[in-house]
Structure 1
Amino acid sequence: MERVADYPRPPRLEPCALPVRVEALGRVLAEGDRSLRVLETFHPPTLYLPPEAMHLAMLQPAPGHSFCEWKGVARYFDVVLPEGEPSPLNPRLRRLVRAVWQYPEPAPAFAALAGWYAVYPALMDGCWLDGERVIPQPGGFYGGWITSWVQGPFKGDPGHPQLV
């Protein structure tokens, strides 16, 4: 069991060899057994996946950037289906806006993240870590992956307003 209250600040980056699967728009967006976990106080882990794990044809650069005091400037991607191809889960849905991000040139302490991708689990059809379907971190801004071995309270949890 991991307690997010025990995670460090500034965050720690660690490799993870557990199998990961991400589905979006009725398709597999990412799959592999290599990721990087960012562990930050009161946040469930955020997983970053290498480019070879991603179905890159489903990503389109999206406008805008954000800044993390630890990692630097992030850029975003929409998840899209090819023109004319409907989602099998919802035929009207063909784009998830700003659902994926990466740090192309992260701060030195997070250099290993360069070019790797993270997803917002709440926007995906589902995310799995080691075969377990994850619960998205509460709040629209966060990309944490909650599993049975990660214990809160979590930042963004409406039950813990002091952490919002």
Structure 2
Amino acid sequence: MNNSSAKGKLNSSGWEYYGQKRPDFAHKPKEGQESVWDYPRPPKLVTDEREILIIFANKIIGRSMNAIRLLETASPPTFYLPKTDLNMDYLKKTTGESRCEWKGDAIYWNIEVDGEIAERAAWSYPQPKSEFSKIKGYLCFYPAKAFCYVNGEHVKPQPGGFYGGWITKEIVGPVKGESDETFL
């Protein structure tokens, strides 16, 4: 691919979009909507007082009005819930780690309810980098592995299977994880 013909997420110096200017291929948000292309890079944390609900196997895993939303260019938001608003009896730390250039090292959690298991259904940052210290003691859930709701709206998972973004009617994209041709 040559950069002069690319719509463009990457150029020779790395990521091209940082939330300052929405690219031509991005959908224009309507009133009450947000474009993922207006989110910053590096990401920012925003408190969110809407009701966030996590359900698995007909059990409430978490309910919070104290979430922290993480906003990052090209990705739907992720919602981090404090452990104090989670039923930790259903959450078991599991193997595996990953690293985020911004937040640090993540660990993963299974949801286990009455013999049903959603593997690696949540993640957390036990020792986040200082700029993201607000999410220490918080977990975020993959909406593809549990039923997640924002103010009663059922969340759609971010496409691609890797990312954990939460898509609601307020979010417009295209979002990272959709066809690479959208960005290239």
* TM-score, normalising length: structure 2: 0.79
Structure label with greater radius of gyration: 2
Distance change (3 Å), C-alpha of 1:161 and 1:115:
farther
Task: Check conservation: 1:156, 1:163, Cα contact below 8 A.
Answer: no
Identity percentage of aligned residues:
39
Report the secondary structure of 2:75's partner residue: coil
Aligned pair 1:76/2:108, yes or no? yes
Aligned pair 1:103/2:135, yes or no? no
Corresponding residue to 1:127 among 133, 148, 156:
148
Tell which deviates more after alignment, 40-49 or 136-145. 136-145
Return the offset for 1:161.
3.2
Runs of 4+ in 1 over 6 A off after TM superposition: none
Length, aligned pairs only: 152
Amino acid corresponding to residue 29 of structure 1 in structure 2: I
Return the offset for 1:139.
1.4
Matches within 5 A, 1:140-155: 140-155=161-176
Render the CA deviation track for 1:71-128: whole Å, top value 9, x for unaligned: 00000111102xxx35xxxxxxx1111111100000011000101000000111x211
Return the offset for 1:142.
0.9
- Correspondence for 2:181: 161
Unaligned runs of 5+ in 1: 87-93
- Correspondence for 2:68: 36
CA RMSD of aligned residues (A): 1.3
1-side partners of 2:183 and 2:110: how far apart?
28
Report the secondary structure of 2:40's partner residue: coil
Report the secondary structure of 1:161's partner residue: helix
